[in-house]
Amino acid sequence: MQTHLLELKDLTTEFSTPDGVVRAVDQVSFYIDQKETVGVVGESGCGKSVTSLSIMGLVAHPGKVKGEIRFDGKDLTKLSEREMRRIRGNEISMIFQEPMTSLNPVYTIGNQLCEPLRLHQGMSRKQAWQTAVEYLALVGISSPEKRVAEYPHQLSGGMQQRAMIAMALTCNPKLLIADEPTTALDVTIQAQILELMKDLKEQLSTSIMMITHDLAVVAEMCQRVIVMYAGRVVETAPVRQIFREPGHPYTEGLIRSIPKLHEKEQRLYEIKGVVPNPLNAPKGCKFNNRCEFATDRCREAEPALLEVAPGHEVRCFYPRHGKEVAQ
């Protein structure tokens, strides 16, 4: 068996709150291979962002991370804070949803870009500045020598996100976690940013974990998809497979709710209800209160994540496509 770049095994992240323990991530297992782009999809509150913070080791008090996070042969959960710092921004880096608020308003772009270079690559101030300019050019920012000395608010939203991407890539990370990188941007800018990420991925051979609620982004960017619901992985499959034959009713709902240009649907489909409160999630399958196919069995027991086709796993008693497997 080949070794994966990143492999999560039963990752569980809990927060103790005054009202009880909240399991934001519940026994999540998946992997990402080298040079692979994997989409992690779900509604807000499904645990996808907490998963990424768990990988980065940035879950703060009162959060607790259990399980295994294998990255490049090491279990990240076992590393000390000091060892973890050497990985963050160096081997794994991250870009976020809101470029405007994710850049520090009181320091120049250059100053912020130089930090990982000086920290992880031990560059001199001058070298780092030079490299920062090069990376700004790489992400398609015009007149980078000028932009590098500017403050974040002087850049447009799209430019800011480009700068964030440049900052994440400065140390040639093996894995880039992109947490809704285009959600806060205008549609035209979104397309540009996605295009840029695709280009850079080819050039730099970085793996990408693409966190999004937008399946259109997944179709554009990813090879494989992991669908999460209420802290659980409910389906994982190659991208083409999942659009053609979604197994989980939830995935099917997500796909049906993508606006399509060529089909004249009167109303956009929407999945009824909301993600359950983790403190009183329904018994059995967590999706049963929103699922139009739910039976008594779904309300009694929770199905396991089982393979319905090669590389395609579904957590459902009655998968919509693929063979029904004995649970």
Partner 1 sequence: MHIYIMKRLLQAIPVIFLVTVLTFSLVHLVPGDPALMRAGEDATAEQVEAIREAMGLNEPIYKQYTKWVSGIMRGDMGYSLQDGRPVFSTLIQRLPATMKLVMASFIVSIGIGVPVGILSAVKQNTFADSFARVFALLGISMPNFWMGLMLMLIFSYSLRMLPASGSGTLAHLIMPAIALGMPGAGIITRLTRSSMLEVMKQDYIRTARAKGLRRQLVIYKHALKNAMLPVVTVIGVQLGSRLGGSVIVESIFAYPGIGRFAYTRLLARDYPMIMGNLFIFAMIFILINLITDILYGFLEPRIRYD
Partner 2 sequence: MSSSNLQSPIPEPPVMPAEVTIQRSTSFRDDALRRFKKNPTAIFGLVIVILFLLLAIFGRQLTPFDPFAQNIRNAHQAPGGEHLLGTDFFGRDVLSRIIYGARISLFVGVSVVTIQAAIGVVVGLVAGYYGGKIEAVMMRLVDAFIAFPGIILAMAIMAVRGQGIENVIFALSFAGWPTFARLVRSEVISLKEREYVQAARGLGFHDAKIMFKHILPNCLATIIVYATMGIANPIIAEAGLSFLGLGATSEQATWGFQMSLERQYMRTAWWGVTFPGLAVMIVVLGFNLLGDGLRDVLDPRMKE
For partner 1, the binding residues (CB under 8 A) are 56, 58, 85-90, 93-94, 96, 98, 101-107, 112, 115-116, 119-120, 151, 153-154, 164, 167
The four Cα atoms 45, 101, 91, 171 give a dihedral, to 10 degrees, of 160
> In the range 102-161, which residues lie near partner 2 by CB under 8 A?
102
Work out what residue 147 binds among partner 2, partner 1, none; the CB cut-off runs from 5 to 8 Å by kind: none
Sheet holding 312-314, edge to edge: 92-95, 175-179, 207-212, 37-41, 224-229, 232-238, 312-314, 306-309
Query: Which amino acid, residue 204?
Result: L
Q: What is the DSSP letter of 34?
A: T
> In the range 49-78, which residues lie near partner 2 by CB under 8 A?
49-50, 53, 58-61, 63
Residues touching partner 2, count (CB under 8 A): 29
Q: Does 177 bind partner 2 (CB under 8 A)?
A: no
Minimum distance of partner 2 from residue 107's CB (angstroms): 18
Q: What is the DSSP letter of 235?
A: E
Coil, strand or helix at 111: helix
Work out what residue 277 binds among partner 1, partner 2, none; the CB cut-off runs from 5 to 8 Å by kind: partner 2
The correct pick among 3, 203, 205, 277 for binding partner 2 (CB under 8 A) is: 277
**Cβ atoms 222, 210 nearer than 8 A:** yes
Structure tokens at 153: 């608010």
Alpha helix (H) residue ranges in 121-211: 125-138, 144-147, 157-169, 187-204
The correct pick among 126, 280, 292, 310 for binding partner 2 (CB under 8 A) is: 280
Contact residues toward partner 2 (CB under 8 A) are 15, 17, 19, 22, 24, 44-45, 49-50, 53, 58-61, 63, 96-98, 100-102, 179, 184, 274-275, 277-280
